[in-house]
Amino acid sequence: MVKLAENKDRSEHKAVERLPLPAKVYLPLIQHLGKICVPEVKVGDPVTLGRKIAGIQANFSAPIHASISGKVLAIQDWPHPVLGRAKAIVLEGDGRDDTAVFALKNREEVDKLTPDDIRKIVLDAGIVGMGGASFPTHIKLNPPKPVDTLIVNAAECEPYLTADSRLMVEKADDIFKGIAVVSRCLGIKEVYIGIEDNKPEAIKIFSKFSGIKVKILKSDYPQGGEKQL
């Protein structure tokens, strides 16, 4: 563990902003551990934001969704950061950001979901981890043996980065709801969230939530690593 110059003051107190919509996006068909996805659209098809455009061909995978609204411009080989080259779906934006219609569930409906229901929703949504491996989350929600403790990794030890810190301040209620859903899915009895001591606002906010134990961590690198945490 080492102490690095954090340089977080440039953005840690600035609200998250939306970037302008891109005119074109390239979505690789392999964005995670597991098998490459299969296109479910063809060139010329219209798409809405959030529409599934590529499905899985193995359980250890996650579907891919449109990040903008517009149309499918091409399905072609494109440079890939790991594989060198891989198939990608190219979307041309229409500037409207029309959103796909989702069957959102209210709190009562969520409370009636079974663990299998939750895993299916997570799979269909294409949720993966934010680490380098992009591990499919529905796999993590189906562990090989029972677990009774959930540790929420809220450490953000890299210099300059403040995105997680801002989300904890601006979207705390959503994070709490997500923790509750995961806890129900896994039958969790205890929940801990590890937050570094350089995030006093986040510590204050999460200390008010019942059922979560806040553990204050040193702001050293690499505090956010799984083993270090």
> Which CATH code of 1.10.357.10, 2.40.50.100, 3.40.50.300, 3.40.50.2300 fits the domain covering 24-93?
2.40.50.100
User: How does pLDDT run across 135-177, given as a tens digit for each residue?
Assistant: 899 999 999 999 999 999 999 888 999 999 999 999 999 999 9
Cis peptide before 222 (omega within 30 of 0): yes
Q: What is the pLDDT, as a whole number, of residue 102?
A: 67
Which parts of the chain are beta strand (E)?
24-28, 38-39, 46-47, 52-55, 64-65, 70-80, 84-93, 149-153, 190-196, 213-217
User: How does pLDDT run across 189-206, given as a tens digit for each residue?
Assistant: 999 999 999 999 999 999
- Domain(s) labelled CATH 2.40.50.100 in the chain stretch across 24-93
- Give residue 66's pLDDT band: very low, low, confident or very high (50, 70, 90): very high
Q: Identify the architecture of domain 107-217 in CATH.
A: 3-Layer(aba) Sandwich (3.40)
- Domain(s) labelled CATH 3.40.50.11540 in the chain stretch across 107-217
- What single DSSP character describes residue 53? E
The answer, as to whether pTM is greater than 0.75, is yes
Neighbours of 217 (CB within 10 A): 21
The residue ranking higher by pLDDT, 75 or 1, is 75
Distance of CA 54 to the CA centre of its chain: 18
Q: Is the pLDDT of residue 109 over 90?
A: no
